[in-house]
Structure 1
């Protein structure tokens, strides 16, 4: 399945603050911690806990969130299907970055080891 322009637009205008609590709920319900979630976010974006909280407080959109991020050079190693979309086939950069984050959160919730989630090659 390929994301439509409307789908990409919806992701662009969605706020990170509106999705973050869902990430927390998902991982905590499966026995992981918010600190582990923050570690995953930091690995992908370069944002530490304080910066992540600032962006949540500012209610930035995903577009702004990822414009400010320094994407990990190994992010391209994140592959697979998330939310019905094969990450490798997504053309829109922002949509791909959001799906990277979704995939990492999913792996964390499924109990994958941090060593494997935080890809090194």
Structure 2
């Protein structure tokens, strides 16, 4: 896949991380499962803020890998709530990699939509606060 240079969104990322050698497959690319786990963490942050408490992941509505991620890339995760229900929160996560520090380029590597449900201390569904 050819790399298409893009700009980072004009807001702070929810999460930034650099994958390490232990995170790669035999071909040298970062495991998709590692990226999926980081996307879930990034998506949970605005979901927890909206729920004002615990949430649990209930669905990965869509997940698209656009470009591989490599060791040394600085990976930025941008997440925002796109919809809410009575107990549920849908979050879109966009992932960008900053590559080649000598001649930096930024590429969009992943995009996903996940659904979370607000839960109480017993792990049972609870309604979202309605003051937001």
User: Normalized against structure 1, the TM-score is what?
Assistant: 0.25
Greater per-residue strand proportion: 2
Greater per-residue helix proportion: 1
Point out which structure has higher relative CO (alpha carbons under 8 A, 6+ apart).
Answer: 1
User: Normalized against structure 2, the TM-score is what?
Assistant: 0.24
